[in-house]
Amino acid sequence: MKKHLLALALIAATGAANAAVMSYNFSNVEQTTEINQTGALGLFDSTLGTLTGVSLILNGSMTTTIDLSHTSSGSASGRATGQVTLDFFTTLAGLDLSGATIDLTASTGNQTLAPNTVVSFGPLTDSDSVTLSPLTSLFSVAGGGTFGISCESLSGITALGFSGNANAVQASSAACGAEITYTYDAAPPPPAPVPEPTSMALIGLGALGLAAIRRRK
């Protein structure tokens, strides 16, 4: 029984030693909405080993400034919320990103404004990400390579309260990025070359020659 347990422990240790991780990422700087940004991520080189898992993270950020006013008589309360929605697309066949949407929002919070005055709020920011676990078979390619990820934005603003007489304008920017992480079992290193019989014979003859020279001395 002890011998069997030792063998299992050695197998587990060998498997853990072969486990490896690699990742690729890109990020873009924020641009005035609406945006259409792209980036590239690396594919897994199947010659490195067997791919066991893929984690794809899509991320986005927004910054907005909101100018808020109302036109009714007397003071009124309400709030405005700016929104940027990011939709993602890819050049990799078989990878479906149709449900990978990020909704970013930034609010002024509840405010009480005097009539016919404009108040600016910001910069207001938000960021978020979505994590996917797609099929490993889509990413394992001999020699590796790259594939593209892109995003497009739709932005808007809503105002609530102020007796229905609010004016809200936002100036927003946004950006997107992505990161992919591969977990894999690394291929074992090639075995060390075994000397050919001829080479071994030459080495033996050389050793005998050195021994003979030492005896003469």
| Partners of 64 in the β-ladder | 124, 172
Cα–chain center distance at 41: 8
Q: Which residues of the chain have pLDDT under 70?
A: 1-17, 189-217
- Of 24, 47, 15, 211, nearest to 144 by C-alpha is 47
- Of 90, 26, 37, nearest to 62 by C-alpha is 37
Q: Whole-angstrom Cα distance, residue 31 to residue 18?
A: 43
In tens, the pLDDT along 68-106 reads 988 888 888 999 999 999 999 999 999 999 999 999 999
Q: Whole-angstrom Cα distance, residue 175 to residue 193?
A: 52
pLDDT score for 166: 85
> Are 69 and 18 contacting, i.e. CB atoms less than 8 angstroms apart?
no
**pTM of the complete model:** 0.78
pLDDT score for 74: 84
